[in-house]
Amino acid sequence: MALQSRIENGVLVVHPQGPRLDAASAQGFKGAMVDFIHAGHRRVVLELSAVEFMDSTGLAALLSTMKTLDGSGELALTGLSEKVRKLFAITRLDRGVFRLFQDEKEAVNALQG
C-alpha cells in the first residue's frame, strides 16, 4: 500500500492510498508506520478517507502502530468511511482505544505540542 506523508505543525500526517487495509496490504502498511516512528515521528495522524475496506489484519496493523509508539507518542485517526467507522464501533475500538476525529485539521490541532 502506498502512503503519502507530510509534516503539518510538527505532526506527521499519513494518507494511505489504497482502498483496502487487509491481509494483502497490512504488513507493508505496518512496516512503513514502524519506519516513520523509528525515524522520530511521535505524533501521527492517519487520514483514512481512501480506505474503503478494513479487516481484522488492518485493525491489527493499527494496533501494532499504537504499540510501537509505546505510550511515548500519539496516534489519531480521521477520514473513516462509514464501513470502517462501523467496524470500529462493532469492535469497540472507538471507545477509548483510538482517538477518532471528524477531519484532519481537528486531529492535527489535537496532537500539536
- Residue-wise pLDDT for 3-60, tens only, equals 999 999 999 999 999 999 999 999 999 999 999 999 999 999 999 999 999 999 999 9
The confidence score (pLDDT) of residue 107 equals 98
Burial (CB < 10 A; 0-12, 13-18, 19+), residue 66, is: middle
More confident site: 71 or 107: 107
Range of the domain at 102: 3-111
The confidence score (pLDDT) of residue 1 equals 84
Residue 77 has pLDDT above 80, yes or no: yes
Structural domains of the chain, count: 1
Residue 113 has pLDDT above 80, yes or no: no
For position 28, which CATH number holds? 3.30.750.24
